Amino acid sequence: MNRYIIGIAFSAVLLAGVLSGCGKGIDELKAREIAKEEALKAMGQAPEKFGFGVAWEKEWSYSQGTKVGNVIYVAGQLAHGQKVDDKGMPEFFMGNFEQQYKATLENIKAVLAHYGATMDDVVFLQNFVAPVSRDKTMKAGAYNPVAAKLVREYFPKGLHAMTFVDVVALYGDKQLVETNAIAVITSKPAEAPSAEAAPAPAEEKK
């Protein structure tokens, strides 16, 4: 059944590509809307969105996490806390790379936890690193030892695909890393009842 649903969703996306490419009778935006509607119908579920309540979620009209079916898409996370003040501003952690990367991973962990998922459910992790913002002489590789240590700490099972990208700059002069993720919640097999929990056999009546 899951393969069937994925196949329908993929076909809808493919249809959108064909329609947008032909350029006759339908524009690209409309084609994307059709693909989105068909994919949601196939999955039988509308997106579940989650946010921390930070001011820029409303300003940019986006969520920190969106779950469709059993797939969770986590937006790019910056180095800040999850609690906000009355103006929608969180606490920022603009220290060294280790502090910032740990904050982004904690945010990903919190988004997944909202949906009942864990870091073990992550299948793809994407990292954008700018060791010294707007300094083209520095390279992201300078922080490889620290990054590798944190990845091992947060993903001890190492089951996800991952990308590290060296960029010139991120949003804000002090921001050193931004990380997004995709997770898939898989059904866990039901545990067999223990011997202690099994009901005692009924006594035969004589």
Backbone phi, psi, residue 54, to 5° = -70, 150
Contact 109, 74 (CB under 8 A): no
Question: What 3-state class would DSSP assign to 31?
Answer: helix
The one-letter code for the residue type at 54 is V
| Residue 204 domain-assigned (yes or no) | no
Same domain for 124 and 158, yes or no, is yes
DSSP-assigned letters across all residues of 183-204? EEPPPPPPPPPPTTTSPPPPPP
Residues in the chain, overall count:
206
Residue 63 lies in a domain: yes
Residues 70 and 119 in one domain: yes
Question: Do residue 141 and residue 69 come from a single domain?
Answer: yes
Q: Do 24 and 68 belong together in one domain?
A: no
94 three-class SS: coil
> What residues pair up with 122 in beta bridges, in sequence order?
183
Residue 11 and residue 113 in one domain: no
CATH of the domain at 64: 3.30.1330.40
Question: For position 180, what pLDDT does the model report?
Answer: 95
The answer to whether residue 126 sits within a structural domain is: yes
Does a structural domain hold residue 198?
Answer: no
d(CA 197, CA 38): 46
Q: What percent of the chain has pLDDT over 70?
A: 70
DSSP string computed for 105-136: HHHHHHHHHHTT--GGGEEEEEEEE-SSTT-T
* Number of separate domains in the chain: 2
Classify residue 161: in a domain, yes or no.
yes
Count the alpha carbons within 13 Å of 91 in the hemisphere toward its beta carbon.
7
Report the distance separating Cα 140 and Cα 151, nearest Å: 15
Tens digit of pLDDT for each residue in 66-105? 999 999 999 889 888 778 788 877 777 788 899 999 999 9
Whether residues 65 and 153 share a domain: the answer is yes
* Chain mean pLDDT for the chain: 77
Segments forming the whole domain that contains residue 85: 45-184
Tell me the pLDDT band of 19, cut-offs 50, 70 and 90: very low
Whether residues 56 and 147 share a domain: the answer is yes
Q: In what order do the strands lie in the sheet with 122-129?
A: 48-50, 65-68, 71-77, 177-184, 122-129, 161-166
* Structural domain includes residue 169: yes
- Digit-coded pLDDT (tens) for 30-73: 777 777 766 665 555 778 888 787 787 788 888 889 999 999 99
Q: Indicate whether 119 and 143 sit together in one domain.
A: yes
Per-residue pLDDT of 174-186, as tens digits, reads: 889 999 999 999 8
